[in-house]
Structure 1
Amino acid sequence: MTYAMHFLDGDLDGDLDVEPAVETAMAYHDIGLWTDRELAYLEPSEAIVVADNEKHSWGLDPELLRGIIHWHHKIFRYRGPHERVIEACRKADWIDVSMGWIRKGMSRRNVAAVEAAFPNEGFHKSLLRLAKDYGGSTLVGGIRVTRGIMKW
């Protein structure tokens, strides 16, 4: 969330306040790993956030929520509807998942400050464990998760 809002300059997308949608999508973006115990977790995560948005009457744009989740592992730049917001979230997730190794233009100082404020507390190790648990081995699970979530 911090990285995404940095790329959005803490700004609004036109007249629409996107921060609640970014917060919500980022909270749900990997949830299918746990709820559906699925390495191809994008579609389950999208379905859950859209259902909860409707159930709780949050009033968030379901296409924006879906887009943020669906494209957050896209390797190359996202172009399309809600481009500015989805691209900010995509770059933010690459910084997070790579533990700052990939910075997408973010300074090392900013990455270090965010990691100090919000330590990952073993989250990345948990992802490797889930790949092994759901895929049978870390290698097979890693291949399955990569095929299931990576977008070109």
Structure 2
Amino acid sequence: MKRILMVIVGVLVVAGLTLGGVYMMRDKISVMLGLSVPLVELSKTPLFKPLDKFVISLDSEDTTYYLVMESVLVTHRPDQLEQLDEYEPLMRNALVQYFSNRSNEAVRKELQDVGALQKALLAKLVTTLQGYGYDPVLDELLITKVVVQ
């Protein structure tokens, strides 16, 4: 009789621990199963994630020029800030891909409409991250400093 009681208590303890773990992980499990998306409270003010300075060479017929750019990502989702740190190598690679086949003249022309360039770079970053299975929620990419020399 004691053995049966001990087995029943053991099963109940394991079941309780399992249910407790499932309850605590319910948001992650539901997303993994595609059941629902947990609600994330949006920030009332924009949140900024500065990217490291970006430098790339630009070819020209006469000489090689360098593009130096500093940019900031904007989101209203606090949970995105930590994830963006993990994504930084992918985002830097996306910037290299974007500028790698552009000449000095083409980049100077693009810089005449900074708003359009910011939108193009944001689209490139989002597409790249989605290609790796991430679903970034980015509102804007701001170019805070740019030099071509």
TM-score (norm 2): 0.26
Bigger share in helix = 1
Bigger share in strand = 2
TM-score (norm 1): 0.26
**Is the radius of gyration larger for structure 1 or structure 2?**
2
